[in-house]
Structures are given as C-alpha cells and as structure tokens.
Structure 1
Amino acid sequence: MKQYTFALDLVNDPQLIMEYENFHRAIWPEIESSILEAGVTKMQIFRFEDRLFMIMEVDDSFSFEKKAHMDEHNPKVQEWEQLMWKYQSAIPGAKENEKWVLMNKIFELKK
C-alpha cells in the first residue's frame, strides 16, 4: 500500500467553507466510484481554517497518469471539479490550474 498526502486551500469565506464541507459529507456516487476505480482504497480530508490536508492510500493499480486520464474522460468528474473551483483556492506555490499539491514527507516516527 502506498500513501500520498496533499494540501489545498479554500476560499476564506465561512459560508463557502460550510458548503464545501456539505458536498464532501455526501459526495456524488459517480465521484466515489471514480476514486475507487482509480485504485484509491482510502481517502481522508482534514481542515484547519481554510487549509485542507488529504491522505490518500492506493493499491498497486493506481497511478497519477491513470487517474488523470480517467478524470479527463469522465463528464461527471469534470462537472464536480468545475463546481469545486468555486470553493478552492490554489495553495501558494501551486502550478497554474493545479488544485491538490503533493506534499513531501519530511519526518516519520516508527517504533
């Protein structure tokens, strides 16, 4: 199992943040299916103020290229992503049109 972590900011507006959280409490079934079909086995999103942190666990079938290809050819995913831009704000240092930014692990404590 591989694990990836990402960061993203939200538009700093309490009403929009509440709407964003509501969408994620009941994501569209097509979005959930798309995530699972790409090889994602577990996904968690955490929020502090307007900063999001996502942990994504994947199986051996997952690749970023495969996920991008699937998303590009899925009209429902494109609709969802377009809608989410209303709430999302690219994190400082992100590339143009980049949403979730892959983070680098700098520390791990193991017993």
Structure 2
Amino acid sequence: MSAIKRLCYSCDLKDDPQLIEKYKEYHAAGNAWPEITRSIKDAGIIDMEIYLTGNRLFMIMEVDETFDHEKKARMDAENPKVKEWEKLMDTFQQRLPWAENGQKWVPLEQIFKLE
C-alpha cells in the first residue's frame, strides 16, 4: 500500500468580484483544461481541491510517493499548455505578502490535528 501525503497551500486572487467569478468558472467541474488535469495526475497528485473565502484560495493536494516538487516544476516548465494555463491564471492571482520571490502558492503549516 502506497503512502499518501496531504499538502496544503494558499494564494490570493485579485480582489475584484468579476475576476473572482471568472476564476471560479475556469475551475468549475469539467472546465479545467484536460492537459492541466492530466499533468496534475502525471505528477503523482491523486486528489486536489481548491477552496475560496473572500479572495483567498486554499489548495489541498493528496500525493503519492512518486510526487516531487522539483520534478513537477520541471514537468510544468516543459509543458506549453501548463505554461499557457499558468500565464492565464496569473491574470487572476496575486502573491501573498510573505511569499518568496516568484512563489505563487505558499505552503501552509499544519498547527493542529485532531487525534
């Protein structure tokens, strides 16, 4: 049985109701480009969910043992459709104030788990 790991991230959208609605449209069931969902699965991501409150996004990923951040970054950099998607999503997203240079999605620190 493979080990599944949960990774959580946050990112902000530009605080514009029209842009937020358009971003939600792109992410509605069946609307994400098939090349994007394929690249996500090919990277070892078993499940991914994105939640929204106000203009703050929270992404929860479940990954298998094959997932590697650097490998995923290389795969994305070599995939023209992923690069096109990311450029499009950049029109909606803005970096968190504490994000490192070039960092879009910031990892969340788990501070509680119900035992």
The answer, yes or no, to whether TM exceeds 0.5 is yes
| Structure 1 counterpart of 2:20, one-letter code | I
What's the TM-score once normalised by structure 1's chain length? 0.97
For residues 68 and 101 of structure 2, what CA distance do their matches in structure 1 show?
A: 21
Secondary structure in 2 matching 1:107: coil
Unaligned runs of 5+ in 2: none
What's the TM-score once normalised by structure 2's chain length? 0.94
For residues 3 and 88 of structure 1, what CA distance do their matches in structure 2 show?
A: 23
Secondary structure in 2 matching 1:54: strand
For residues 65 and 16 of structure 1, what CA distance do their matches in structure 2 show?
A: 30
Q: Give the number of equivalent residue pairs.
A: 110
Q: Which residue of 1 aligns with 2:41?
A: 36
Unaligned runs of 5+ in 1: none
Q: Which residue of 1 aligns with 2:12?
A: 9
5 Å-filtered alignment, 1:52-67, equals 52-67=57-72
Find runs of 4+ consecutive structure 1 residues off by over 2 angstroms. Answer: none
Q: Deviations over 1:32-87 (max 9, x none)?
A: 00000000000000000000001000011101011001001000000000000000
How far has the Cα of 1:92 moved from its partner?
1.6
Secondary structure in 1 matching 2:6: strand
Root-mean-square deviation (CA, aligned residues, Å) is 0.6
Q: Which residue of 1 aligns with 2:78?
A: 73
